[in-house]
Amino acid sequence: MNQNLIPIKTFLGKYYPELALAVTQDKYFEAGIGKFFEQRFHIQDNKPQMVIDPHLSGLIIIVSGNEIHVSKELYDHSNIIITNSSENPDYEYNSSKTLYNPNFFSSLAYLVCQNHTMFEVVGEIEEPIYIKYKSDFEAFYNSVVIFDIAEELNIEIVEEYESRCALNSVTNYFLQQHSKLKLTTFYRNNFSASSFNLRNVIAKESSTYNHILFGRGSATTVDETKLTIHDKAEAELLGCINPGMQEFHNIVGVHPAGSDFKFNLDQRHVLIGTGRTTFTPIIVGKLPDDHTSDVSALVIADVPEDLRVSQTVSFISPIMNRAVLDRFVGVEKFYASKAKFLEF
């Protein structure tokens, strides 16, 4: 074993006791995050940096902890403003403690990653934005990214998670009034990897948030959403989870900031062999009377062998059929990822 690897418990220092207590919460219990603290990793010690990468084509962001690569096309786009907190002394959240909250495990990213990168979308975008989070072998990478979508814009973003060891991210989505975000997430972690991801969504008045989650399992995967939703806003969360022989844990927290909003959720879990999934809802307040929430599972072992393919396709088709982009330019990566996910 590499002698330079550091136990997470040791690295966290004074923050370890409260994080160790936090992961005993019911929402994290099934994921067994507590065992993560004893594991040893390389922690990034390089200077936080953003690189304009001429080899990237399209509107692409690659996040490797505190190192971020963006395509020249995205960096030069007139309707996208990129700001790094390390370069902006007036940034209101420059203190790592400001947004750290031990009740959300992934918020430890605010302690580890001292560079928060904001992407302000201030005008129409003709292509989807792709953001890929990845970590290397033996490494524990942390990142904080912010998307601020201006009023009345309609934006499409595709998230990709590809962990080879341990990955932790906090992604903040601020939807201003009357804006729309169509978000799609694809997981393709290494089987032995761990990833913990917090998606903090603030949907302002009359905004629309649509999210489709395609979950692949790994040793430990915890995908957590905290949705703060205001009056006249709409949110729809769809999911198709295939853990394979691994694990995938999904947590959805809804924090109403009004009473007149719409909320719908539909998740389909395909369970094969020893694969395991969990879904944990956390409602802080009251959902509207007409909300819909449905979480269902198809256990492949219970289906006759000659019907497994047809029944699986039928089971997940309501989600798969919704997974389309409104744009026609720069969509090849999206549809390739969707096709890859269908390779059960």
pTM score: 0.95
Considering only CA atoms, give the Rg of the chain. Answer: 20
First-to-last CA distance in the chain?
34
Q: Which two tokens stand for residue 342?
A: 């269908």
Percentages helix, strand, coil for the chain (3-state, rounded to 5) are: 20, 45, 35
- Provide the pLDDT for residue 86: 62
2 has pLDDT over 70: no
| Percent of the chain whose predicted confidence (pLDDT) is above 70 | 96
Note the pLDDT of residue 92: 57
Q: Do the beta carbons of residue 52 and residue 73 sit within 8 Å? A: no
- pLDDT tens-digit readout, 320-335: 999 999 999 999 999 9
Average pLDDT of span 303-308: 95
pLDDT value at residue 87? 63
User: Strands 80-84, 116-121: parallel, antiparallel or unpaired by DSSP?
Assistant: antiparallel
Report the distance separating Cα 32 and Cα 221, nearest Å. Answer: 10
The arithmetic mean of pLDDT across residues 287-306, rounded, is 95
pLDDT tier, 1 (very low <50, low <70, confident <90, very high otherwise) = very low
Query: pLDDT band for position 95 (50/70/90)?
Result: low
CA distance to 80, 141, 179, 184, per residue, from 128 (Å)? 12, 25, 15, 10
